[in-house]
Amino acid sequence: MEGAVTRDLSAQPAWQEKDLGIPLPDSPHACSVCLPTWDSVIGYEEGRDKVLKRMRMGYPRFFKHPTVERLFDNAKAETALDSEDVVVLPTRASVQRAHRWVERRAETAVRISSYHGLQALIVPSKAKAEANNYWRFSGEVVSSRQAQDFLDGKPREGSKSHLIARAVAKFTGSEPDHTFVFSSGMAAVTSVLRALPGLMKGKKTLQLEFPYVDCLKVQEFFGHGVVYLNEASGESFDEALKRIRQGEFAGVFTEVPSNPLLRTVDLARVAQACAEGSTPLVVDDSAAGPLNVEALRFADVVTGSLTKWVSGEGDVMAGMAAVRSDSPLAAALCESLAADAADCAPLYIADAEVLLSNLKGYSKRMKTVNANGIELASWLAEQPAVAQVWHPSLVCRENYDAVRRKNGGYGGLLSFVLKNPKKTAKVYDALKVSKGPSFGTPFTLVCPYTMLAHYPELEWAEGCGVPSHLLRVSCGLESFSTLQAAFEEALALG
């Protein structure tokens, strides 16, 4: 499941369980990811056996859940030759899109086989990487629960996405019939991209501010190219607004706040330019969550990962797209998104049931997370070893406040760097909190974000203002005193 993370206690010290006092998800569908040392992060990125052989699970679109892997193996044994590989996709519409995309990218023939209700994309070995890329970036995945039911011979029919749409609409401010639920957050982003009318005319998209890596990749892979403005301010921002008003782009994408720099663009100015240029504005609110920000006041459509803060348990994957009812593009967007949500990337009913249960605690959890986030950001900013902290309360605050809900907070996601970058590895290793990718779990989670998300392009990320030694923190439900003690101890080494 996307971003679902629990601590792998076989790979890290016992203190992580006994001292933090936060219960771990006990579901076999939670993904156990732990990279407790800087060396293990590098080992993972470089594919070292000593690290990979210890990983039983991982970030789901990147590292397939064991149950999903077993499903793939069974499908390969039944449908493919020894020289071929298989990726299992949930629906006919999804596999047909994957078929066209992989053939074009790999420049080779691939084929499709129905697999007892699911769909197998069968590719020659040389096209395996592109097939996996479609799985990863489109987000049109088979979840571990769906795979388990299938392997047990008990696949379930039906949908409860309408119930999730009704619940999520209360947070986003959208109408339930303008809210669409998907199998992952990236599936929602991919579907929104496909829905943009300007895409049919071959227009590029515009990305404002440094985004979560896969959001940019989706535009690169499934669109007609993307124009990227790393920092939406000054003359470059003015020029971007001018180009938006001229109708140059199929759509404008941004995050509120961005991940991992937690910056927020001037949404009012962007929205005005988009309105003048009849250009859809797409805002992702995953980093803060819809209880904190009211992005739909400005955007034509808001996307979000329900895996993260909204679920809050790290045991289910889902995404959503909400269309503003009075957007002039509402009818066209809703028609396309409804079709994709139902026919291309539907949320499996068993996952929907877990998410519905998790949703009940969202409001209460976020109060604690918001409090921990602002306290930890403020405290870190005062520490002698810390050079810079990024958090919506500290960067682009005026822009964030313009989109923040009346009773909303600043979220639990923050990033920081040390004054002495060479000591980052030592501080990271010493931190007595969980370590791994993702955010929104009930326990605090730290990761060297740039190393994990941009390892092959560290120099490029540095040029965009995202240091290779940046540490991103997702605050959990621990007491702030517990968090402060953990960071204070580690920072003493910095």
pLDDT per position as a tens digit, 386-428: 999 999 999 999 999 999 999 999 999 999 999 999 999 999 9
Locus of tokens 């369980």: 17
Q: How many residues does the chain have?
A: 494
Q: Which two tokens stand for residue 413?
A: 């996601």
Q: Which two tokens stand for residue 275?
A: 């309105």
Q: What are the structural domain ranges in the chain?
A: 9-58+361-491, 66-138, 161-359
Locus of tokens 């049919």: 200
Distance, in Å, from the CA atom of 123 to the CA atom of 80, rounded to the nearest integer, reads 9
Selection from 125, 117, 126, 111 nearest residue 79 by Cα:
111
Collect the ranges in the chain with pLDDT lower than 50.
1-26, 31-32
Q: Which H/E stretch holds residue 216?
A: helix 213-222
Q: Looking at domain 161-359, does it have CATH number 3.40.50.1100? A: no
DSSP-H helix ranges across 25-110: 38-45, 49-52, 66-79, 92-106
Q: How far is CA 103 from the centre of its chain?
A: 27
Q: Which H/E stretch holds residue 330?
A: helix 330-343
Q: Which H/E stretch holds residue 137?
A: helix 128-138
Three-state secondary structure readout of 136-201: HHHCCCCCHHHHHHHHCCCCCCCCCHHHHHHHHHHHHCCCHHHEEEECCHHHHHHHHHHHCHHHHH
Selection from 344, 360, 368, 363 nearest residue 190 by Cα:
344
> Are 17 and 9 in contact, with CB atoms under 8 Å apart?
yes
The pTM is what?
0.92
Residue 437, number of CB atoms within 10 A of its CB: 23
Q: Which residues lie closer than 8 Å to 215 by C-beta, 6 or more apart?
A: 186, 189, 207, 253, 255, 284
Q: How far is CA 3 from the centre of its chain?
A: 7
pLDDT reported for residue 49: 77
Identical topology for domains 66-138 and 161-359: no
Cα end-to-end distance, the chain, whole Å? 35
pLDDT reported for residue 66: 87
pLDDT reported for residue 30: 52
The mean of the pLDDT values for the chain is 91
- The CATH number for 9-58+361-491, chosen from 3.90.1150.10, 3.40.1670.10, 3.40.50.2300, 3.40.50.740, is 3.90.1150.10
User: 66-138 adopts what CATH topology?
Assistant: Endonuclease I-creI (3.10.28)
Q: Which residues lie closer than 8 Å to 130 by C-beta, 6 or more apart?
A: 101, 102, 105, 106, 123
Concatenating the DSSP letter of every residue in 331-354 gives: HHHHHHHHHHHHHTSPPPHHHHHH
pLDDT reported for residue 56: 61
Distance, in Å, from the CA atom of 456 to the CA atom of 176, rounded to the nearest integer, reads 41
pLDDT reported for residue 283: 98
Q: Which H/E stretch holds residue 276?
A: helix 267-276
Q: Which H/E stretch holds residue 122?
A: strand 118-124
For residue 37, what is the DSSP state? S
> Are 126 and 158 in contact, with CB atoms under 8 Å apart?
no
